[in-house]
C-alpha cells in the first residue's frame, strides 16, 4: 500500500478547519534517503520563534540534529526503544527544551506551556510545507543532558522527528498497523466542561 492509498488522515470535524490543521498527522515511516529542505527547516524553526509566550519570555530552546551528524546519533541513542525503531529514518530530530528557571533563579510557570505552543506552531508550518512531524515524549532526558551539556535551567520536554513521509511498508508490522489505523479523538462534547 502506498501512502496515497492510505485511508484519509484528515480529521473528522463538526466545523471546517484550516486544511493544514485537519490534515496534520504524526507518521512513523520517514524516507531515510530524503534530506529536509533547509528553507523549510528554517521556516519551521521561525514558526516556533514567533509563537506567543507569557510576557514574551520565549522560554524555549532547540537542539536541531540533522541525520548523518553526531548530534543526530546522540539524540537517537537517547530515544526509548520503541521510538528508536522508527525515528532514526527522519531527516532531523529536534529536542525541545523549556527554560523552567530564568537567569535570576526565578521559576517560569508557563515555560512548558509556551514551549508546547512553539512546537505546535513548528509542526503546523512544517506540515504546510509538505514535511511531517512526530513529537515524542519517550526519551531519556538525563542522557540528553549529558550528551549536550544542558544547563539545569533547561528541561528537555520532547523530541520531534521531522522529515519526508515514507511508505508504511518500511515499518515493522506492529507499527505498520498503527500507521494506517484511522486517527481518532474524544468527542467535542466530552472535552467541553462548560459550554454555556
Ligand X SMILES: Cc1cc2nc3c(=O)[nH]c(=O)nc-3n(C[C@H](O)[C@H](O)[C@H](O)COP(=O)(O)O)c2cc1C
CB-nearer residue toward ligand X: 102 or 188:
188
How far apart CA 44 and CA 108 sit, in angstroms, is 24
User: Which residues are within 8 A (CB) of 177 and not within 5 positions of it... i.e. 6 or more apart?
Assistant: none
The answer to whether 172 contacts ligand X (rule: CB under 6 A) is no
Q: How far apart, in whole angstroms, are the C-alpha atoms of residue 120 and residue 52?
A: 11
Task: Give me the sign of the Cα torsion angle 149, 155, 157, 160.
Answer: negative
Q: Is 183 in the site for ligand X (CB under 6 A)?
A: yes
Per CB under 6 A, the list member of 135, 144, 150, 179 interacting with ligand X is 135
The Cα 27–Cα 66 span in angstroms is 18
Question: Which is closer to ligand X, CB of 58 or CB of 160?
Answer: 160
Tell me which of 158, 166, 168, 171 binds ligand X, using CB under 6 A.
158
Considering only residues 33, 137, 172, 188, which one is a binding residue for ligand X as defined by CB under 6 A? 137
Which H or E run includes 96?
strand 92-99
For residue 117, the Cα-to-chain-centroid distance in whole angstroms is 11
Span of 12-20, 41-49, 98-106, 134-142 interacting with ligand X by CB under 6 A: 134-142
CA distance 59 to 56: 8
Site for ligand X in 10-39 (CB under 6 A): 25-26
Query: Which residue in the set 138, 172, 177, 188 belongs to the binding site for ligand X (CB under 6 A)?
Result: 138
Q: Smallest gap, in angstroms, from Cβ of residue 193 to ligand X?
A: 21
**Binding site residues, ligand X, CB under 6 A:** 25-26, 83, 135-138, 158, 183
Amino acid at each position: 500500500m502506498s501512502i496515497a492509498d492510505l485511508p484519509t488522515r484528515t480529521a473528522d470535524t463538526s466545523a471546517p478547519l484550516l486544511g493544514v490543521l485537519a490534515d496534520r498527522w504524526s507518521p512513523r515511516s520517514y524516507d531515510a534517503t530524503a534530506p529536509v529542505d533547509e528553507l523549510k527547516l528554517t521556516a519551521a524553526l521561525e514558526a516556533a520563534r514567533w509563537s506567543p509566550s507569557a510576557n514574551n519570555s520565549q522560554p524555549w530552546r532547540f537542539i536541531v540534529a540533522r541525520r548523518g551528524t553526531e548530534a543526530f546519533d546522540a539524540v537517537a541513542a537517547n530515544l526509548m526503544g520503541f521510538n528508536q525503531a522508527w525515528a532514526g529514518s527522519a531527516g532531523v530530530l529536534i529536542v525541545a527544551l523549556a527554560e523552567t528557571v530564568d537567569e535570576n533563579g526565578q521559576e517560569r510557570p508557563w515555560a512548558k506551556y509556551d514551549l508546547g505552543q512553539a512546537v505546535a506552531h513548528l509542526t503546523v508550518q512544517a506540515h504546510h510545507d509538505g514535511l511531517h512531524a512526530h513529537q515524542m515524549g519517550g526519551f531519556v532526558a538525563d542522557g540528553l543532558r549529558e550528551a549536550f551539556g544542558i544547563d539545569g535551567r533547561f528541561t528537555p520536554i520532547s523530541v520531534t522527528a521531522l522529515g519526508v513521509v515514507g511508505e508504511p511498508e518500511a515499518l515493522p508490522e506492529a507499527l505498520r498497523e498503527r500507521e494506517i489505523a484511522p486517527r481518532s479523538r474524544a468527542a467535542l462534547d466530552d472535552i467541553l466542561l462548560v459550554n454555556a
